C-alpha cells in the first residue's frame, strides 16, 4: 500500500481593508518612505480596525472562505490548528474561537506559538495527523493582529508589521504529491533578541509594565537580521541538497516575508532567480504567522499540480525551518 501523504487541497486568506502607508507612518514616527522601502521593501501594510475585533476575526474569515471554496461542511473538519503570537486572549486558544466562529463544532483545536515560524510548525504538525491516518481534513490557520503589539512610537519596529490571516486545507493522498519533508529547528537562547517583555507569568501586566511600554514587540533588529539570513538560507539549501533539487527544478520558493533583503539573500544562497520567489511584502509587510498562506493564496492561480515548492521561515524563539512539497492541484480551477 502506498504511503499516505498530506496534500494541500485549498488555500484562502483575509486581510483588513485599512491600508497604512509609509507616508502615513512618517506622520506618526520619525521615518520616511525612502528609509522603509530601501531597508525593508515594505510600502504598505493592512491594519485591523474596529472595537472587539482581534486575531480570531481575521482567522475566521479566512477559514469560512476556505470551507466555501473547498466545498467543505464545517462538520467534516477533524482538526484546526492556529499559529499566532497575538491570541485574542491568554486563554482559551484562538483556534477554539476561530472554529466556533466558522461553525466547526466539537473538533480538535489548538494553538501553536513559534512566532513567525509558527505557520510552518503548524503546517508540519497538521500534516502529521493526516500522514498517521488519524484525520482526513485538517485546517492550519496562520493569523496575527500585529498592530495590537506594535509600538507606534518606536520607529524601529512599527514600520515592519501588518495584520492578516491565511488558512490551508490538508487532506490525504497516495499520489506523488503533497508534503514531502520538513526540517524544523529552534534555539531558545535567541529569545533575548526578540520578545514581548510583559504580560506573561514572569511579568504580569501592571501599571508599571504599561508605563514602561513593555507590552509591545521588543526586537534587536540587526541581531535578528543576521540570524534570519543565515538560518533561513542554511535550512533551504539543506532541503534542496537532501532531495537533489537543482535551482531550475524549483517552481516556487515561498519565504516568510520579514524583510526583502533577507528574502533576496536567501534566494541568492539557493541559486534561484527572483521570478521563482513569491514576494508580497511591499503590500502587506510582515504579518508574522500569515505571510506564507497569504503568498500561496495570491499566487494560487499560477500553481500547477506537481510544482516543486519550498516554504521557509525564521522567527522569534529563535525558530526556523523549511518544508518541501509538491503542489496538489491546478490553481486556476480552484478560485
Of the residues 22, 96, 113, 286, only one is catalytic, namely: 286
Q: How far is the CB of 258 from ligand UT7 (least distance, A)?
A: 4
Interface with ligand UT7 by CB under 6 A: which residues? 31, 35-36, 39-40, 116, 155-156, 159-160, 221-222, 224-225, 228, 258-259, 262, 286, 314-315
CA 6 to centroid of chain Cα atoms:
19
Measured on CA atoms in the order 222, 283, 196, 32, is the torsion positive or negative? positive
Number of helices and strands (H, E) in the chain? Answer: 11, 13
* Cα-Cα end-to-end distance for the chain: 33
Tell me, yes or no, if 82 is annotated catalytic.
no
Nearest residue to 307 (alpha-carbon basis) of 291, 323, 292, 329: 329
Nearer to ligand UT7, 169 or 311 (CB): 311
The question of whether 295 is a catalytic residue gets the answer no
Q: Quick one: 259 or 266, whose CB is closer to ligand UT7?
A: 259
Q: Catalytic pick from 116, 158, 259, 295?
A: 116
Q: What is the closest distance, in whole angstroms, from the C-beta atom of residue 120 to ligand UT7 in the complex?
A: 12
Residue 228 or 311 with smaller CB distance to ligand UT7: 228
DSSP single-letter state for residue 106: S
Q: How far is the CB of 57 from ligand UT7 (least distance, A)?
A: 22
How many other C-beta atoms are found inside a 10 Å radius of the C-beta of residue 284?
25
Which residue among the candidates 12, 109, 193, 256 is catalytic per the annotation?
256
CB 299 within 8 A of CB 280: no
The residue (of 74 and 221) whose beta carbon lies closer to ligand UT7 is: 221
Q: How near is the Cβ of 225 to ligand UT7 at its closest, in Å?
A: 4
Is 286 a known active-site residue? yes
Q: Are strands 79-83 and 138-145 parallel, antiparallel or unpaired?
A: parallel
The alpha carbon of 42 is separated from its chain's Cα centroid by a whole number of angstroms, namely 17
Catalytically active residues, by annotation:
116, 256, 286
Amino acid at each position: 500500500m502506498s504511503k499516505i501523504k498530506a496534500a494541500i487541497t485549498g488555500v484562502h486568506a483575509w486581510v483588513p481593508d485599512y491600508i497604512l502607508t509609509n507616508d502615513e507612518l512618517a506622520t506618526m514616527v520619525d521615518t520616511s518612505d525612502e528609509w522603509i522601502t530601501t531597508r525593508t521593501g515594505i510600502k504598505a501594510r493592512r491594519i485591523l480596525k474596529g472595537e472587539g475585533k482581534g486575531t480570531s476575526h481575521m482567522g475566521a474569515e479566512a477559514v469560512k472562505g476556505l470551507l466555501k471554496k473547498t466545498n467543505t461542511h464545517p462538520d467534516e473538519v477533524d482538526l484546526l490548528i492556529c499559529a499566532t503570537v497575538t491570541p485574542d486572549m491568554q486563554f482559551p486558544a484562538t483556534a477554539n474561537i476561530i472554529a466556533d466562529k466558522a461553525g466547526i463544532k466539537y473538533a480538535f483545536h489548538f494553538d501553536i506559538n513559534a512566532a513567525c515560524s509558527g505557520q510552518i510548525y503548524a503546517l508540519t504538525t497538521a500534516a502529521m495527523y493526516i500522514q498517521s491516518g488519524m484525520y482526513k481534513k485538517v485546517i492550519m490557520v496562520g493569523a496575527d493582529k500585529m498592530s495590537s503589539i506594535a509600538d507606534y512610537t518606536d520607529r524601529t519596529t512599527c514600520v515592519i508589521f501588518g495584520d492578516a490571516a491565511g488558512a490551508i486545507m490538508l487532506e490525504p493522498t497516495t499520489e506523488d504529491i503533497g508534503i514531502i519533508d520538513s526540517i524544523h529547528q529552534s534555539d531558545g537562547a535567541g529569545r533575548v533578541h526578540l520578545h514581548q517583555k510583559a504580560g506573561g507569568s514572569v511579568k504580569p501586566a501592571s501599571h508599571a509594565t504599561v508605563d514602561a511600554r513593555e507590552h509591545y514587540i521588543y526586537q534587536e533588529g540587526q541581531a535578528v537580521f543576521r540570524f534570519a539570513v543565515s538560518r533561513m538560507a542554511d535550512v533551504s539549501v539543506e532541503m534542496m541538497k537532501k532531495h537533489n533539487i537543482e535551482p531550475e527544478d524549483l517552481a516556487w520558493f515561498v519565504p516568510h516575508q520579514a524583510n526583502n533583503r533577507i528574502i533576496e539573500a536567501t534566494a541568492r544562497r539557493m541559486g534561484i532567480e527572483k521570478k521563482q520567489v513569491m514576494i508580497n511584502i511591499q503590500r502587506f509587510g510582515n504579518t508574522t504567522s500569515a505571510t506564507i498562506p497569504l503568498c500561496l493564496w495570491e499566487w494560487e492561480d499560477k500553481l500547477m499540480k506537481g510544482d516543486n515548492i519550498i516554504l521557509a521561515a525564521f522567527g522569534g524563539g529563535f525558530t526556523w525551518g523549511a518544508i518541501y512539497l509538491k503542489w496538489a492541484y491546478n490553481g486556476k480551477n480552484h478560485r
